[in-house]
Chains A and B, each alone.
Chain A
């Protein structure tokens, strides 16, 4: 697994973001984040339809070690959440950039994505 895929954008609080063809933005947490958290046991996701502001606390990851807040990387409406994480939270450890995506946001202003770090910038922030 690539530690920091170059096609994604990153927040210094360890969320990754990917713009989809339909304009929505998929959000998850980085490999570095899951590694630091250890075994993930619960993930609490926002409700579909919730309006988020960039930087707002909107999800929680509980691992054996600690509870960590997840912040919205961009503003917009939650249009989908990954239901699979309810029963298989270990996906976050196994496939953080794939099967363990957290939620999708329809951004109000997709230029907010440009304010996030690129892979190089994220790695430099670690």
Chain B
């Protein structure tokens, strides 16, 4: 296996939902400042794995987690850790673009405000900066005060990206972030990701193989709650070692 500096490392992670064993003995490493794509058929536990990275699975009632998830070497399931710090460090982009019920400006400023930035000037600067990074500034700069819900779905997802970036995370998680978008908007989001990997570690869940091929530097193939294979994208796509990986990439199982 290729050597790299892991940003997130998962060891023997087991997740139960009631009696249902959702994730089984997951051990993977997520490389820093690359795009890692988690692929696998629906219901294989991709989203659960993703949400275990920022402890958003804590919200699911009846879930139990064992094992280690380390971010920068820090065990995030350690009881002493402040969850809000972890979540600040790890941004998340949901499947469906979901603006908070407030203005465009307030959506982006929401995170910084939560973390104590209240000076108008500083907020203005942050909002402008991250709307630019998300490629939305030119389209909305004249109507920052209007409700975010008036934007198109593609614009909304870029707004969500800006909102995520505004808390200055190191890692960005995307849970099928283009699945609710039209092809053109989806393309734009993909391009954003490719540009962002200079500065961020990115983990994306997708069930679209072609998207995975376009984006991935590193691939994790998950099947029925288990990691079947993980490694550099080229190896996985061109020369998979496992029969099940081959079958999935060949379109035989879905």
Q: Do A and B come from one complex?
A: no
Chain B residues close to A by CB (< 8 Å): none
